[in-house]
């Protein structure tokens, strides 16, 4: 069954603790925390103080996605602030192996992210070092975008390569335009972790929305 990681980018920031508790109490497996620097992506979200503050009020698993230009400079700080998993973009300016090593040295899980234009094969050299691969099915930076179907082939390729290597515990995550319909397509192509923002936080029935993603 797929796991669900609601993106707090779609939460009510005036009531962030309440909204995080709401989704966790209604079946979410973890919280997806999108960090944007206004350089790597054309948007700014939040940073270390928000992660640190949230850590004080929940024991939820923090799935932190760094959309920043130099993740190697900040990965350790996010780990110390309370992240359980830190993922970063292969397209960033940081050395991939070095950044993975920094995250792992903090005793945390490491993930690598690819944008829509980046082929699945780009992550293959690092698969054995990773706990997660995140396939972006929208251009990163803003919530509410439509799902890009070219992500399905990437999910399938990564899933098949992971199986070939016996990496049965690898999270294959997808983020962008996820709902009950696109989530099923992703699961059918190998995704086992779905990120959903507006579909969950904007739902009249949060539990029903989360349940529809448990495929």
SS3 sequence, the chain? CCEEEEEHHHCCHHHHHHHHHHHHHCCCCCEEEEEEECCCCCCECCCHHHHHHHHCCCCCCEEEEEECCCHHHCHHHHHHHCCCEEEEECCCCCCHHHHHHHHHHCCCEEEEEECCCCCHHHHHHHHHHCCEEEEECCCCCCCCCCCCCCHHHHHHHHHHHHHHCCCCCCEEEEECCCCHHHHHHHHHCCCCEEEECHHHHCCCCHHHHHHCCCC
Catalytic residue among 19, 29, 63, 175: 175
34 is catalytic: yes
Catalytic residue among 19, 34, 63, 84: 34
Sheet with strand 109-114: strands edge to edge: 3-6, 193-196, 171-175, 132-136, 109-114, 85-89, 62-67, 31-36
Residue 211 annotated as catalytic: no
Q: Which residues are catalytic, by number? A: 34, 175
């Amino acid at each position: 069954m797929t796991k669900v990681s609601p993106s707090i980018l779609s939460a009510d920031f005036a009531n962030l603790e309440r909204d995080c508790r709401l989704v966790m109490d209604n079946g979410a497996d973890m919280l997806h925390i999108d960090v944007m620097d206004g350089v790597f992506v054309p948007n700014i979200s939040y940073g270390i103080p928000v992660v640190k503050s949230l850590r004080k009020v929940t024991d939820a698993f923090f799935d932190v996605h760094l959309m920043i230009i130099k993740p190697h400079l900040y990965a350790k700080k996010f780990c110390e602030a309370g992240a359980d998993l830190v993922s970063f973009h292969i397209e960033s300016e940081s050395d991939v192996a070095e950044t993975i090593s920094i995250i792992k040295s903090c005793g945390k899980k490491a993930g690598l992210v690819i944008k829509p234009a980046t082929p699945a094969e780009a992550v293959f050299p690092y698969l054995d070092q990773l706990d997660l691969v995140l396939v972006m099915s929208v251009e990163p930076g803003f919530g509410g975008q439509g799902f890009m179907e070219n992500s399905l082939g990437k999910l399938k390729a990564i899933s098949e390569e992971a199986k070939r290597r016996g990496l049965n515990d690898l999270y294959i995550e997808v983020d962008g335009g996820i709902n009950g319909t696109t989530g099923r397509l992703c699961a059918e192509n190998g995704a086992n972790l779905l990120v959903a923002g507006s579909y969950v936080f904007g739902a009249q029935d949060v539990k029903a929305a989360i349940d529809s993603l448990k495929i």
